[in-house]
Structures are given as structure tokens and as C-alpha cells.
Amino acid sequence: MKRKSFAQARCPVARSLDSIGDWWTLLLIRDALRGPRRFSDFVESLGLARNVLSARLRRLVEAGIFEQRPAEDGSDGLRYQLTEKGRGLQVVIMALRQWGEDNLFGEGEEMSVQVDRAGGPIRRLIVQATDGRPLRPEDVNIEPGHKRSRARAAEAGPGSA
């Protein structure tokens, strides 16, 4: 389908989605967050045509989200492993997970859950001001033109409790 490209958009949301590509790409990220994956692991998990999957993985390597590495256990074949940039999508996957948990399962229906390896549940992600106030959609403004600088990311802080 013909559409605008968002690769040069000023909106980071649009650029992110343009970079990720097809919606099922995030399922590749989900799988690889659990560790390096074979091509065949992805085929099995997603049930995709091999040529479609292959093209998408190539683009994700070009985008610096995946890299190809030999298996750590010395077995044959390359593995797809997330880069640091790719691992940064963990929070996107978690946000999708929590929304799905809240909205897409009937009472009593079985779902997989993520838990802290040290035991216990995972904190709910919420949009907050730096002082911890929850921010609803109407509590935020969009400002159109900021220059990207390394300083900005530090300013917003890591957001730990």
C-alpha cells in the first residue's frame, strides 16, 4: 500500500513504527528478549513464510536492532541476537503485554505472564511526571521542534522509585 514514509518524521512515535515495520516484527523482538534465536525458531513461533521473515530480519539487522552471532554453545548456525538498541524495545513489549492483560482476556482465560526472576510480579508501567503524578492523555502537550541532544535523555531521569 502506498503511504507516507515516516523515516524522516519529526515525531519519534512515527519514526519508531517506521523502523520496526510490520506489526508482527515486535513478536520477533519478544522472542529474542528471551535469548538468541535461530531463523527456524522464528518460523515456528510466527508461522510466517520464510522469504517474508528473511526480508524483515535483514532490514532489522540493517537498522541495528538485531545482529547475527555464532551460537554460544558452539553448535552450528548463526543466531539472531538483539543489540542494545533492540533490547531497548523491552519496555514497548511490556506496555503491549500489560494492555493485553487488561483488555483482551476473558475472566478465567489462560494467559502467559512475565514475572521477576527473583520472584513476584512486575510493576505496572504508567505515564508519569518527574514528580510521580500520573499523566492522562490530556495532561500532556506536544511541542513540535526540539533539537535532539544527549543532555535531554539524562534530564528526564531514569524514573526509578
Distance CA 22, CA 16 (A): 12
Residue 161 three-state SS:
coil
CB of 50 to its own copies, least distance (A): 12
Instruction: Decide if 6 contacts 15 (C-beta within 8 A).
Output: yes
2 binds its own copies (CB under 8 A): yes
Q: Which of residues 105-144 bind its own copies (CB under 8 A)?
A: 105-118, 120-130, 132-144
Q: Give 74 or 134: the residue with its C-beta nearer to its own copies.
A: 134
Q: Whose grid coordinates read 531521569? A: 157
61 binds its own copies (CB under 8 A): no
Please count the other Cβ atoms lying within 10 Å of the Cβ belonging to residue 80.
Answer: 22
Binding residue count for its own copies, defined by CB under 8 A: 104
Among 39, 41, 48, 81, binds its own copies (CB under 8 A): 48
CB of 4 to its own copies, least distance (A): 4
**R_g of the chain, CA atoms, integer Å:** 18
Instruction: Decide if 7 contacts 15 (C-beta within 8 A).
Output: yes
CB of 43 to its own copies, least distance (A): 11
71 binds its own copies (CB under 8 A): no
41 binds its own copies (CB under 8 A): no
Q: Whose grid coordinates read 506536544? A: 142
102 binds its own copies (CB under 8 A): yes
State the cell numbers at 101.
492483560
151 binds its own copies (CB under 8 A): no
96 binds its own copies (CB under 8 A): yes
Distance CA 114, CA 121 (A): 7
